[in-house]
Amino acid sequence: MTAGRITILIADDHPVVRAGLRALIATDAALQVVGEADTPAAAVQAARELSPDVVLMDLRFGTAETGADATRVIRVSPDAPAVLVLTNYDSDADILAAVEAGANGYLLKDAPPDDLLGAIRAAAAGESALAPAVAGRLLHRLRTPATSLTARELDVLQRAADGLSNAEIAAALHVSEATVKSHLAHVYTKLDVRSRSAAVAAARASGILA
């Protein structure tokens, strides 16, 4: 913390969103924005250089890398800051990717301002902050683990839904194409489908993907 304040890094690819968050945070004297980043790679670099207490992390940046990828790198670093995901997406794939990556909290961008400010303080204190819809999805998965896709399977399926080829998915996840094909095969079996397009359609119909 700087002079008793909780320091914050905002990672989002939309300038208007970053400006809005900066303005909101400025209303709380206990909080201070120390930097911004518009890509996952920039978020990782800024977290290393600025050592914030909390990183407000979007999940989708229009790049192969996601906010979950950046969160994973940030959270394993020495003296890692807390990461609070702030996004428009609440699909199982997004939630589990973030939680598995080590996010301390997960809020939607339509959360009331006071909820967001409170979540930042909670994350800085090492506590968890989950939007009600997110908490409900996680509870549902805990109750039905046998039919659930793993976080990695969801990650692969989400990237397939985004239009990435097997080779592009493999490069983004730093695995082989054979591994990607294996994950997709497991997805097909669990969703009882026979193709990538059918898997994406079934996942969206069931709420697994947004």
Q: In whole numbers, what is the pLDDT of the chain averaged over residues?
A: 88
For residue range 179-194, list pLDDT tens digits in order: 999 999 989 888 888 8
Same domain, 103 and 192: no
What CATH number is associated with residue 44? 3.40.50.2300
From CA 70, how far away is CA 66, in angstroms rounded? 7
From CA 13, how far away is CA 164, in angstroms rounded? 20
DSSP H helical segments within 31-176, as ranges?
40-50, 67-75, 92-101, 113-124, 132-143, 151-161, 166-173
Residue 83 lies in a domain: yes
51 backbone φψ class: left, alpha, beta (φ>0; ψ -120 to 50): left
Same domain, 118 and 167: no
pTM, rounded to two decimals:
0.69
Task: Give the pair of three-digit tokens for residue 150.
Answer: 């793993």
Same domain, 80 and 153: no
Same domain, 157 and 198: yes
For residue range 52-108, list pLDDT tens digits in order: 999 999 999 988 889 999 999 999 988 899 999 999 987 777 888 888 889 998 999
Lowest mean pLDDT among 39-43, 74-78, 145-149, 188-192: 145-149
Instruction: State the burial class of residue 203 (Cβ atoms within 10 Å of its Cβ: 0-12, 13-18, 19+).
Output: buried
Residue 179 lies in a domain: yes
Give the CA distances from residue 182 to residues 130, 153, 166, 175, 176, in Å, rounded to whole numbers and listed in that order: 32, 9, 11, 11, 10
Residue 141 lies in a domain: no
Same domain, 34 and 84: yes
142 pLDDT band (50/70/90 cuts)? low
From CA 68, how far away is CA 171, in angstroms rounded? 16
For residue range 54-66, list pLDDT tens digits in order: 999 999 998 888 9
Same domain, 31 and 131: yes
pLDDT reported for residue 12: 97
* Percent of the residues in the chain that have a pLDDT greater than 90, as a whole number: 58
Same domain, 92 and 48: yes
Tell me which residue range forms the domain holding 44.
6-136
Give the CA distances from residue 144 to residues 75, 88, 149, 166, in Å, rounded to whole numbers and listed in that order: 28, 25, 10, 29
Sign of the CA dihedral with 87 first, then 90, 94, and 99 last: positive
Give the CA distances from residue 164 to residues 61, 102, 192, in Å, rounded to whole numbers and listed in that order: 15, 25, 22
Residue where a domain stops, chosen among 103, 136, 169: 136
Same domain, 43 and 104: yes
Residue where a domain stops, chosen among 136, 163, 181: 136
Same domain, 37 and 12: yes
Residue 1 lies in a domain: no
pLDDT reported for residue 144: 58
Q: How many domains does the chain have?
A: 2
Give the pairing type, strands 82-87 and 54-57. parallel
Same domain, 17 and 98: yes
What CATH number is associated with residue 201? 1.10.10.10
Q: Is the pLDDT of residue 123 over 50?
A: yes
Same domain, 41 and 66: yes
